[in-house]
Structure 1
Amino acid sequence: MKKNETKGQVQEFEAFLKTEAVSVPATLSESIFFRIEKNLNPNPWLIFSKLAGIHLGVGALTLSICPQFGVRFFGSGLGVVKLFFHLGTYGCMMACGAFFVGASVLVAASLLSRDELRKLRAHPWLQLSSVVLLSLGGFIMADAEILIGFAFAWALGSLLGGFTALQVGWYFRASSMSYLS
């Protein structure tokens, strides 16, 4: 900055300090505080509905490349499952679940607001377990052949994959914000 610009800014600031205080109407002040509180503390149900909507879209896409419990929307063949077979039966189910939920959570981490993501991180197991149970319910409605042992392995992988994706998404989101500022 040039010295003249700095001097002008100092004079402008001093003039601002000498002005009389203007009282803000109470309704405007309350409205602003309400909006700030709403933005800083988003409704958990709204966050879950956004997460579920994102999961519905991303889940449909991931099912096209990685069928879950024999359910595949688009395409044919085994897709990514071929890569997971070497992990064994239960390892494959855990990897499939981690891929299915993890992909959705990574997309959600980039689409949700920073405060919504912060709130999601405050109670991740509740939100993620709800997504996992809704997913299992969706597979059952799609007439998938689900065995209890495979379902537990898949659910465990889904929870771990979702939690890991949430932390990775938060890290990249936070590092990109610090890079931009």
Structure 2
Amino acid sequence: MNKDYISFLKEDQMSPPKELSKTLENTIMTELHPTHVNVFFKIFLVQLFVGMITLLICPQYHLSFTSNYEVFHYFHHNFGAIICMLICGAIFMGPSMLFAGLIISRSELNLILKTNGLYFVSLLLISLSVFLLAGADIFMMTSLFWILGALSSSFIGIFCGHYLRSRVEQI
């Protein structure tokens, strides 16, 4: 084994091809410094997919893919309109951001946190706009509670997802 090492040390130093070095450098820089557009697009796609799945279970502003309003009625009758809106917002955004937290890198999470929730607010505004275009009856006062539930569950979800990912990577 020492002979191999000594032989390696005696060899002329060879450098990797410049194209390979440049490609590797670009890949590392992209991983360490993601762009806002790429990160937002990634969590937007997650929200689009998971948000549509949540509409199968729990309607948002009386919009549902299944016309199944049992979950909505349960929350509304047992907890009242305000708590129902908090829960509905949390159900709509929380699972999406939990899943997003599982797939984003640490540098992407840091970029999201640097915006102080602007990514989440943007996703919420897009979602509410789509609901309006789909004919939802959105009232300002109750929507504030929906937004509060959605924003709080977004922060909690993305942190929990990223924490779970880091724990799994340690195994």
Instruction: Give TM-score scaled by structure 2 length.
Output: 0.87
- After superposition, the Cα gap between the structure-2 partners of 1:87 and 1:35, relative to the gap in structure 1 and judged at 3 Å, is same
Does residue 145 in structure 1 map to residue 137 in structure 2?
yes
**2:62 corresponds to:** 70
Aligned counterparts, 1:91-130, within 5 A: 91-113=83-105, 115-123=107-115, 125-130=117-122
Question: What percentage of aligned pairs have identical amino acids?
Answer: 32
Any conservation in 1 of the 2:72–2:84 contact (CA below 8 Å)?
Answer: no
- After superposition, the Cα gap between the structure-2 partners of 1:104 and 1:75, relative to the gap in structure 1 and judged at 3 Å, is same
Structure 2 counterpart of 1:173, which letter?
A: R
Q: Quick one: which of 124, 128, 135 aligns to 2:127?
A: 135
Report the structure number with the largest CA radius of gyration.
1
Q: How many correspondences in the alignment?
A: 171
**1:20 corresponds to:** 12
Does residue 88 in structure 1 map to residue 80 in structure 2?
yes
Q: Quick one: which of 36, 50, 54 aligns to 1:44?
A: 36
> Which deviates the most, 70-79 or 57-66?
70-79
| 1:88-127 superposed Cα distances (whole Å, 9 cap, x missing partner) | 3212111110110011111222344554345434436011
Does residue 61 in structure 1 map to residue 53 in structure 2?
yes
SS in 1 for 2:70: coil
Any conservation in 1 of the 2:104–2:162 contact (CA below 8 Å)?
Answer: no
CA distance in 2, matches of 1:119, 1:11: 49
Structure 2 counterpart of 1:120, which letter?
A: I
CA distance in 2, matches of 1:85, 1:114: 41
Any conservation in 2 of the 1:59–1:100 contact (CA below 8 Å)?
Answer: yes
CA distance in 2, matches of 1:70, 1:80: 9
Any conservation in 2 of the 1:67–1:81 contact (CA below 8 Å)?
Answer: no
**2:162 corresponds to:** 170
SS in 2 for 1:35: helix
* RMSD after superposition: 2.2
CA distance in 2, matches of 1:15, 1:176: 41
Any conservation in 2 of the 1:101–1:161 contact (CA below 8 Å)?
Answer: yes
Instruction: Give TM-score scaled by structure 1 length.
Output: 0.82
| 1:58-107 superposed Cα distances (whole Å, 9 cap, x missing partner) | 11110111111111112422326514653332121111101100111112
